[in-house]
C-alpha cells in the first residue's frame, strides 16, 4: 500500500509520481516515502507501457528535506557510524536506482526543494523549476551538523564543477530559479501551471535516461582532485579557510569538503559510498544531535508557539504603539511595519520620532540598492510608520511596546500616560533588558495585561524575542504577545520574571568573566581569541564595547540601588567602573572602550590596558580561558533553571544561541552541560570555584542532579 505517492499513467505512457504526505503541511523524506519511492521506481522500470516518469509534489513546496525527527535522536539511541552509513546508503541507493533504471525521469520543482529534496531532483534526468520567488534549491545540511547524504556532494560538483558547487554545499547557499538556471542546475524555468507540461514535452521528445556522469567519456567540469592545479588550489585554500572559520568545533564542513575531494576523483558509485561514510560519522556524533535538536526541532517548535497558553483565541496586531524612537524602538517599528502593522512611533520630540522613522528609510534604501525591494514597496512600508509626540495617537492600539530609557521613574510615567488613551483590552509590553516586569507593572492599572518583550539589537537582524511573564501577567497577555512575535517572524522564548531575566543575566556572566580575567593580568588578546576559538561570535571585551560599557555600568548601579545591602557587585565591575567613570571610555558608540576605534580603520585593543592591568608572567592555557567563559554561562543557566526563571531546557538553549551567540555546536547552554556530562561539569565548576571564586559554586540542587546522572534534556 502506497500512502505517500499517487501513481498514475496517462495515455502517452508517462507516469506521474505525485508526492503528497498525508497529514503534513510539507513533504519530507521520511522512511515511508523512501520505501514508496523505491516501489514506484520499480513500477516505472518494469512496466512496458511506461516510457518515462515525472516526479511532482501535491503540496505548495516540493520536498523540504529529510525528516530530522528521525535523525535527531540517533546519538541518544546509541546509533553507530556504521548504522548511520547504512541509512545514507539506503536512500542513496534508491536515488541511484531511479537514475540508472533505464527510463527517463523528469522532475517538476514547484517550490522549495532543500536537502534530500534537492538531491532527489539531482538524481532525475531533467529538471524544470517554477519561476515563483519562493522556489529555492539548496543543501543546508552543514548548518545542522550534517552533510548531504543522498548524493549532494557527488552529483552537484559533477554537474557544475567544484568551484560553483562548494558554496552551495559548504555555506548552504540557496539558489533562486534564475540562479539555478544560470548555474546549470535546472534545465528550464516556467510558471507553476506549465511545469508538468514542460516535463512531459521533454519526456516525449528528447528523453535521455543517462546522467552525465554515467555517460562514456565523462569529465568533471573544471577538473577534479590533485590532477587539476586549479581545483587542487581550491581545496587547499578552502580547507584552510574552513579550519579558521570553524576552529575545528564543527566537523561537518571539513567532512563535506573531504567527501567532495575524495569522491569526485572516483566513479560515481564509489563517491556515493564515500559520502555515506562521512554522513554516518556525523549523524552518530553529538555535534549533529545538538545542532539538529536546537537549531531545527526546538526552534521550529518555538516558532510554532509551543509555549502559547491554550484556550486563548488567536490574535493579530493591526495597530502598534512604540514609546521611544531610539535604535531599539526604531528597529521594532521597522519589523512591525514590514509585517503589515500601522505603527505609531512616539517620542518626546518630533525630531527624535522622525529620526526613528529615518532608520527604516535607511534600511529600505539599502534593500533597494541590493535589489531586495522597490521604491513602491519601500514607500508603502514607510507610510505605515507615523512619528508623533501625542499620546492621543495611541488610541486604538492593540499592543504598545515601551522602549524608553532604563529608568523605573520614566517607564512609570509613560505607562500612565499610555493607559489613559489605549483600549481597555490592549496589551502593554516593556522592552526593558533588566528591570523586573512585576515591579514595572506596579505603575499599571492593568498588571494582568503587562508583559515584557525583550528585543535584541539590531532588531531587524536578531531573530530572538524574550517574552517575560510578570507575577500578574494573564494567559491572554502571554498568548497575544506570542502571536505578535510570530507575526513579525521572530523566534520567542518564554521566561519568568527575575532581575536580568534570562538572556541579560547569563550574557552578563561572560562579559564579567572577561573583565575579571583582564583584572587578573590575563592578556586581553588571549581572552578575546579564546572566546572566538570556542565559537563565540566575538570576545567578551569587544561585545562589552558593542553594548557600551556605560549601559552595563548604569544597569549594575540600578540593580544595586534596587537590592540595597543584598547586592554583591560582579567580580569584574571595578574594571567597568574605572573605564566609565574615571577614563571616560564608555564603549564603541563613544569611540573608545576596551578597544580603540580609529575612523576608517580596523579597531584594536587599547594599549593602555597593559598599564592599568599589567600582564602576569605565566599566562593560562587557552583551554582554561575557554572553560571559564563557557562554564560560567552554562552554570548561570542552570541556576536560572533551578530558580524557575525558565521551565524548559529548549528555551534556555534557543535563547543562548539566538540571543547572544552561545556556540551552536554545543546546542546551547544546557545542552553544553549534557554534552560534557553533568558529573564532569560539576567537578570542573568545583575546581574553578576553588581557583577563581564563589561565582563558580555549585548548588546542592545541581550536585544532586549530577549524582543521579540526570540530564537537562530527555534521552
451-493, pLDDT tens digit by residue? 999 999 899 999 999 999 999 999 999 999 999 999 999 999 9
What is the arithmetic mean of pLDDT over 67-92? Answer: 93
59 and 26 Cβ atoms separated by less than 8 Å: yes
Helices (H), 492-646: 503-520, 524-534, 540-547, 549-563, 573-577, 609-612, 622-643
State whether 428 and 353 are in the same domain: yes
The answer to whether residue 305 sits within a structural domain is: no
State whether 441 and 411 are in the same domain: yes
Q: What is the DSSP letter of 63?
A: B
Which residues pair with residue 19 across a beta bridge?
Answer: 5, 57
Q: What is the CATH number of the domain that holds 451?
A: 3.40.50.720
pLDDT tier, 373 (very low <50, low <70, confident <90, very high otherwise): confident
pLDDT in tens, 15-57: 999 999 999 899 999 999 999 999 999 999 999 999 999 999 9
CA–CA distance, 337 with 242 (Å, rounded to integer): 38
Question: In terms of Cα–Cα distance, which of 387, 385, 382, 391 is closest to 362?
Answer: 382
CA–CA distance, 554 with 549 (Å, rounded to integer): 9
Residue 159: strand, helix, or coil? helix
The answer to whether residue 630 sits within a structural domain is: yes
CA–CA distance, 534 with 518 (Å, rounded to integer): 18
CA–CA distance, 391 with 396 (Å, rounded to integer): 11
CA distances from residue 31 to 71, 87, 101, 109, 629 in whole angstroms, order as listed: 11, 10, 21, 21, 41
Cell of 559: 540593580
What per-residue confidence (pLDDT) applies to 439? 92
Q: Which of 445, 468, 495 is the last residue of a domain?
A: 495
Cell 567519456, residue located: 217
Is the pLDDT at 1 greater than 60? The verdict is no
The answer to whether residue 308 sits within a structural domain is: no
Domains held by the chain: number: 3
Residue 468: strand, helix, or coil? strand
Cα 454 to chain centroid distance, Å, stands at 18
> How buried is residue 195: exposed, middle or buried, by Cβ count under 10 Å (0-12/13-18/19+)?
buried
Give the global pTM. Answer: 0.91
Neighbours of 653 (CB within 10 A): 30
Cell 550574557, residue located: 507
Is the pLDDT at 563 greater than 90? The verdict is no
What per-residue confidence (pLDDT) applies to 331? 96
pLDDT in tens, 234-260: 666 666 666 777 778 899 999 999 999
CA–CA distance, 324 with 330 (Å, rounded to integer): 8
Cα 607 to chain centroid distance, Å, stands at 36
What is the arithmetic mean of pLDDT over 165-177? Answer: 93
CA–CA distance, 567 with 410 (Å, rounded to integer): 23
Q: What is the DSSP letter of 114?
A: E
Phi and psi for 452 in degrees, rounded to 5? -105, 140
CA dihedral (695, 696, 697, 699) positive or negative: positive
Cell of 558: 540600578
Is the pLDDT at 350 greater than 60? The verdict is yes
State whether 591 and 695 are in the same domain: yes
State whether 427 and 566 are in the same domain: no
State whether 124 and 106 are in the same domain: yes
State whether 518 and 476 are in the same domain: no
What per-residue confidence (pLDDT) applies to 232? 62
Q: Which of 459, 478, 495 is the last residue of a domain?
A: 495
What per-residue confidence (pLDDT) applies to 158? 96
State whether 252 and 350 are in the same domain: no
State whether 457 and 536 are in the same domain: no
State whether 59 and 21 are in the same domain: yes
State whether 452 and 525 are in the same domain: no
274 and 266 Cβ atoms separated by less than 8 Å: yes
92 and 149 Cβ atoms separated by less than 8 Å: yes
What per-residue confidence (pLDDT) applies to 471? 95
The answer to whether residue 309 sits within a structural domain is: no
Query: Is 90 known to be catalytic?
Result: no
The answer to whether residue 455 sits within a structural domain is: yes
pLDDT in tens, 96-110: 999 999 999 999 999
CA dihedral (148, 152, 157, 163) positive or negative: negative
Residue 190: strand, helix, or coil? strand
Supply the range of the domain harboring residue 397: 319-495
What per-residue confidence (pLDDT) applies to 500? 82
pLDDT in tens, 177-218: 999 999 999 999 999 999 999 999 999 998 889 999 999 989
Question: In terms of Cα–Cα distance, which of 656, 301, 690 is closest to 502?
Answer: 656
22 and 36 Cβ atoms separated by less than 8 Å: no
State whether 179 and 246 are in the same domain: yes
The answer to whether residue 303 sits within a structural domain is: no
What per-residue confidence (pLDDT) applies to 650? 96
> How buried is residue 401: exposed, middle or buried, by Cβ count under 10 Å (0-12/13-18/19+)?
buried
pLDDT in tens, 614-647: 999 999 999 999 999 999 999 999 999 999 999 9
CA–CA distance, 343 with 576 (Å, rounded to integer): 37
Which residues pair with residue 53 across a beta bridge?
Answer: 15, 105
How long is the chain?
Answer: 715
Q: What is the CATH number of the domain that holds 676?
A: 1.10.1040.50
Query: Please, what is the end-to-end C-alpha distance for the chain in angstroms?
Result: 33
Radius of gyration for the alpha carbons in the chain, expressed in angstroms and rounded: 28
What per-residue confidence (pLDDT) applies to 559? 81
Cell of 550: 556605560
125, 132, 454, 680: the catalytic one is 454
What is the number of alpha carbons within 13 Å of residue 179 lying toward its C-beta? 14
Write the DSSP string, 647-681: S-HHHHHHHHHHHH---GGGTSHHHHHHHH-HHHH
Q: What is the CATH number of the domain that holds 235?
A: 3.90.226.10
Question: In terms of Cα–Cα distance, which of 386, 404, 405, 411 is closest to 396?
Answer: 386
Residue 602: strand, helix, or coil? coil
Phi and psi for 247 in degrees, rounded to 5? 50, 25
91 and 115 Cβ atoms separated by less than 8 Å: no
pLDDT in tens, 641-663: 999 999 999 999 999 999 999 99
State whether 625 and 479 are in the same domain: no
β-pair type (52-57, 105-109): parallel
The answer to whether residue 304 sits within a structural domain is: no
The answer to whether residue 302 sits within a structural domain is: no
Is the pLDDT at 301 greater than 60? The verdict is yes
Q: Which of 469, 495, 521 is the last residue of a domain?
A: 495
Amino acid at each position: 500500500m502506497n500512502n505517500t505517492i499517487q501513481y498514475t499513467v496517462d495515455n502517452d505512457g508517462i507516469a506521474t509520481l505525485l508526492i503528497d504526505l498525508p497529514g503534513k503541511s510539507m513533504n519530507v523524506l521520511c522512511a515511508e516515502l523512501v520505501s514508496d519511492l523505491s516501489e514506484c521506481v520499480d513500477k516505472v522500470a518494469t512496466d512496458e507501457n511506461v516510457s518515462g516518469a515525472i516526479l511532482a509534489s501535491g503540496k505548495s513546496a516540493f520536498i523540504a528535506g529529510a525528516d530530522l525527527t528521525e535523525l535527531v535522536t540517533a546519538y541518544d539511541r546509541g546509533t553507530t557510524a556504521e548504522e548511520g552509513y547504512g541509512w545514507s546508503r539506503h536512500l542513496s541507493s534508491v536515488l541511484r536506482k531511479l537514475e540508472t533504471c533505464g527510463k527517463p525521469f523528469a522532475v517538476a520543482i514547484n517550490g522549495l526543494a532543500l536537502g534530500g529534496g534537492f538531491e532527489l531532483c539531482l538524481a532525475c534526468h531533467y529538471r524544470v523549476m517554477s519561476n515563483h520567488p519562493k522556489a529555492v534549491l539548496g543543501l543546508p545540511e552543514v548548518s545542522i551538523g550534517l552533510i548531504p547524504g543522498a548524493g549532494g556532494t557527488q552529483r552537484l560538483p559533477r554537474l557544475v564543477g567544484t568551484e560553483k558547487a562548494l558554496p552551495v554545499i559548504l555555506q548552504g547557499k540557496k539558489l533562486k530559479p534564475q540562479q539555478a538556471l544560470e548555474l546549470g542546475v535546472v534545465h528550464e524555468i516556467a510558471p507553476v501551471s506549465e511545469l508538468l507540461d514542460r516535463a512531459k514535452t521533454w519526456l516525449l521528445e528528447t528523453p535521455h535516461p543517462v546522467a552525465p556522469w554515467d555517460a562514456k567519456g565523462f569529465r568533471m567540469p573544471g577538473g577534479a582532485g590533485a590532477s587539476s592545479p586549479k581545483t587542487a588550489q581550491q581545496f587547499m585554500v578552502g580547507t584552510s579557510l574552513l579550519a579558521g572559520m570553524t576552529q575545528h568545533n564543527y566537523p561537518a564542513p571539513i567532512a563535506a569538503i573531504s567527501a567532495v575531494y575524495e569522491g569526485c576523483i572516483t566513479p560515481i558509485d564509489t563517491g556515493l559510498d564515500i559520502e555515506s561514510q562521512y554522513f554516518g560519522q556525523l549523524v552518530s556524533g553529538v555535534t549533529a544531535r545538538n545542532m539538529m535538536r536546537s537549531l531545527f526541532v526546538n526552534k521550529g517548535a518555538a516558532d510554532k508557539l509551543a509555549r502559547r497558553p491554550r484556550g486563548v483565541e488567536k490574535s493579530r496586531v493591526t495597530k502598534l504603539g512604540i514609546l521611544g524612537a531610539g535604535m531599539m524602538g526604531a528597529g521594532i517599528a521597522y519589523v512591525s511595519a514590514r509585517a503589515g502593522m500601522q505603527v505609531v512611533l512616539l517620542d518626546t520630540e518630533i525630531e527624535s520620532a522622525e529620526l526613528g522613522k529615518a532608520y527604516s528609510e535607511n534600511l529600505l534604501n539599502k534593500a533597494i540598492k541590493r535589489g531586495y525591494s522597490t521604491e513602491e514597496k519601500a514607500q508603502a512600508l514607510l507610510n505605515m510608520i507615523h512619528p508623533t509626540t501625542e499620546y492621543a495617537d495611541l488610541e486604538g492600539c492593540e499592543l504598545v511596546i515601551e522602549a524608553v530609557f532604563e529608568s523605573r521613574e520614566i517607564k512609570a510615567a509613560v505607562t500612565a500616560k499610555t493607559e489613559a488613551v489605549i483600549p481597555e483590552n490592549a496589551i502593554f509590553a516593556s522592552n526593558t533588558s533588566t528591570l523586573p516586569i512585576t515591579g514595572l507593572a506596579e505603575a499599571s492599572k492593568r498588571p494582568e495585561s503587562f508583559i515584557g518583550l525583550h528585543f535584541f539589537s539590531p532588531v531587524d537582524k536578531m531573530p530572538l524575542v524574550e517574552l517575560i511573564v510578570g507575577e500578574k501577567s494573564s494567559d491572554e497577555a502571554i498568548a497575544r504577545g506570542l502571536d505578535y512575535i510570530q507575526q513579525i517572524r521572530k523566534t520567542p522564548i518564554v521566561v519568568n520574571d527575575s532581575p536580568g531575566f534570562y538572556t541579560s543575566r547569563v550574557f552578563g556572566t561572560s562579559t564579567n568573566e572577561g573583565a575579571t580575567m583582564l583584572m587578573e593580568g590575563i592578556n586581553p588578546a588571549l581572552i578575546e581569541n579564546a572566546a572566538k576559538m570556542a565559537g563565540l561570535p566575538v570576545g567578551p571585551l569587544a561585545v562589552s564595547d558593542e553594548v557600551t560599557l556605560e549601559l552595563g555600568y548604569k544597569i549594575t548601579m540600578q540593580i544595586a540601588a534596587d537590592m540595597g545591602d543584598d547586592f554583591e557587585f560582579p567580580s569584574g565591575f571595578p574594571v567597568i567602573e574605572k573605564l566609565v567613570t574615571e577614563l571616560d571610555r564608555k564603549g564603541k558608540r563613544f569611540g573608545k572602550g576596551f578597544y580603540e576605534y580609529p575612523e576608517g580603520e580596523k579597531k584594536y585593543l587599547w594599549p593602555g590596558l597593559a598599564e592599568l592591568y599589567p600582564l602576569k608572567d605565566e599566562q593560562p592555557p587557552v583551554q582554561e580561558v575557554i572553560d571559564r567563559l563557557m562554564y560560567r554561562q552554562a552554570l548561570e543557566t542552570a541556576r536560572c533553571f533551578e530558580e524557575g526563571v525558565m521551565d524548559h531546557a529548549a528555551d534556555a538553549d534557543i535563547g543562548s544561541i539566538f540571543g547572544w551567540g552561545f556556540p551552536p555546536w554545543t546546542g546551547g547552554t544546557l545542552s553544553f552541560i549534557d554534552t560534557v556530562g553533568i558529573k564532569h561539569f560539576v567537578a570542573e565548576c568545583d575546581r574553578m570555584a576553588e581557583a577563581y571564586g564563589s561565582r563558580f559554586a555549585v548548588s546542592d540542587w545541581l550536585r544532586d542532579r549530577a549524582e543521579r546522572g540526570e540530564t537537562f534534556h530527555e534521552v
